[in-house]
């Protein structure tokens, strides 16, 4: 009986985590929408700001995929959309011609700086007690 209660508590905790994630994701999407972004768009820009490439804001697609929670195909579509919007650019990796490097543009860096406080405010509101 005690084992069953402990197991149910674990399941309840997991479901609480999922619910908090879903609510936070929705709030981020709502807040960032007025800036033309969704939460996943911002996450990629944020990861690139901390990048370690030649300009300090570029990463290989594989490195981005290790840091964001998107499938490879979803990430590829997102990067294509960000590139179309002029926020990132893709180029061949100089060390490995099979690889693709994604870099922030000046426009992408400016937009990230503009929306960073918005994203952080949502996280603070949703994740602090």
Percent of the chain residues past pLDDT 90, beyond the cut: 75
Instruction: Calculate helix-pair angle for 2-33, 106-127, nearest 10 degrees.
Output: 140
Q: Which of 16-25, 68-77, 116-125 has the lowest mean pLDDT?
A: 68-77
- Which are the contacts of 83, defined by CB distance < 8 A and separation ≥ 6? 89, 90
Q: 90-113, pLDDT tens digit by residue? A: 988 777 777 789 999 999 999 999
Task: Calculate mean pLDDT across residues 33-37.
Answer: 96
Phi/psi of residue 88, nearest 5 degrees = -140, 165
What pLDDT does 52 receive?
55
């Amino acid at each position: 009986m005690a084992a069953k209660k402990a197991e149910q508590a674990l399941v309840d905790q997991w479901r609480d985590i999922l619910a908090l994630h879903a609510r936070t994701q929705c709030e981020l999407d709502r807040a960032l929408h007025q800036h033309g972004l969704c939460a996943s768009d911002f996450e990629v820009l944020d990861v690139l700001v901390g990048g370690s490439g030649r300009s300090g804001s570029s990463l290989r697609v594989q490195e981005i995929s290790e840091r964001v929670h998107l499938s490879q195909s979803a990430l590829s579509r997102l990067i294509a959309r960000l590139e179309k919007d002029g926020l990132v650019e893709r180029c061949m990796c100089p060390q490995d011609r099979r690889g693709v490097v994604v870099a922030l543009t000046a426009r992408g860096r400016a937009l990230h700086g503009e929306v960073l406080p918005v994203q952080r405010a949502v996280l603070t509101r949703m994740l602090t007690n």
